[in-house]
Amino acid sequence: MRVISRFLMSASDPSHFPAPTLPEVAFLGRSNVGKSSVINSLLGAKVAKTSSTPGRTRSINFFEVRWPGKPRPELIFADLPGYGYAKVSREVSEQWPSFIEPYLNERSCLALCLALVDVNVPPQASDRQLLDFLESSGRPLVIVATKSDRLSGNQLGNAVRTMAQEYPRAHIVPYSARTGAGREELWQEIKVETENYAARL
C-alpha cells in the first residue's frame, strides 16, 4: 500500500478544521503511545512529528492522503493531542472535556476512530476512559496495540489476549511502527471503514 500524503494544518479551533468533505480517521491515545509514529508508518513518510518527550499542545494536526495516480485526496488523518501522561488528572481534565470529546461528538466526517494503546503497558484508567467513551459514542472503532516489536511472539499473544478481555467489543490490530508489522491489516480496516462511511452518505 503506497500513498501520497501531506501535512494540511494544525488547528486548535473547530472553526479552522478542514471542511468535513472527506472521510476522516482519528488517531487517539495517551501521549507517547505512538500516534505520530503510526501515522508516519502508514503514510510511509515522516509527515508527523514524533518525540520521546510528551507534548502538551492543544491542537489537532490534519494530514491529507491520496492514492497514487488519483488527482484528489481520498481521506484525512487527524492526529489528536495526547492526554493522560504524567500529570494525568490535569491533562485529562483540560484536553478531554473541552476539546477531544466535542471533536468526537461533533465531527460529522469522522469515519473511523483508532484508539492507540501501548501493548507493553498494563491497562490504564485513561485508556479505559477513551475506550468507554468511544464504545458508547457508536463511532466505528479499532484498537491499535502499539510498539508490538518490544514483545516476543508469546508475550505479544498474551498481551493482546489480556487487551481483548479488557475491551471485548473492539477489533485489535497489533502494530509496530518500527518493523511495519500490522500495517497492511490496519490499512485494510481503514479502507473498509472509509468505504462504509461513503456508502452511508
Ligand X SMILES: Nc1nc2c(ncn2[C@@H]2O[C@H](COP(=O)(O)OP(=O)(O)O)[C@@H](O)[C@H]2O)c(=O)[nH]1
Residue 67 CB, nearest distance to ligand X (Å)? 24
Q: Measured from the CB atom, is 33 or 141 closer to ligand X?
A: 33
Q: Measured from the CB atom, is 15 or 52 closer to ligand X?
A: 52
Under the binding rule (CB under 5 A), the answer on residue 5 touching Mg ion is no
Does the CA dihedral 62-108-197-28 come out positive or negative? positive
Q: Are β-strands 24-28 and 4-11 bridged in parallel, bridged antiparallel, or unpaired?
A: unpaired
Q: Measured from the CB atom, is 76 or 116 closer to ligand X?
A: 116
Residue 123 CB, nearest distance to ligand X (Å)? 17
Residue 7 CB, nearest distance to ligand X (Å)? 14
Cell 485526496 locates to 73
Which of 5, 32, 36, 148 is the binder for Mg ion (CB under 5 A)? 36
Residues at the interface with ligand X (CB under 6 A): 29, 31-37, 50-52, 54, 82, 146-147, 149-150, 176-178
Instruction: Tell me the residue ranges of DSSP E strands in 43-133.
Output: 60-66, 75-79, 110-118
Q: Measured from the CB atom, is 30 or 160 closer to Mg ion?
A: 30
The packing angle between helices 183-200 and 35-43, to 10°, is 90
Q: Are β-strands 60-66 and 4-11 bridged in parallel, bridged antiparallel, or unpaired?
A: antiparallel
Separation between Cα atoms, residue 72 and residue 13, nearest integer Å: 25
Positions touching Mg ion (CB under 5 A) are: 35-36
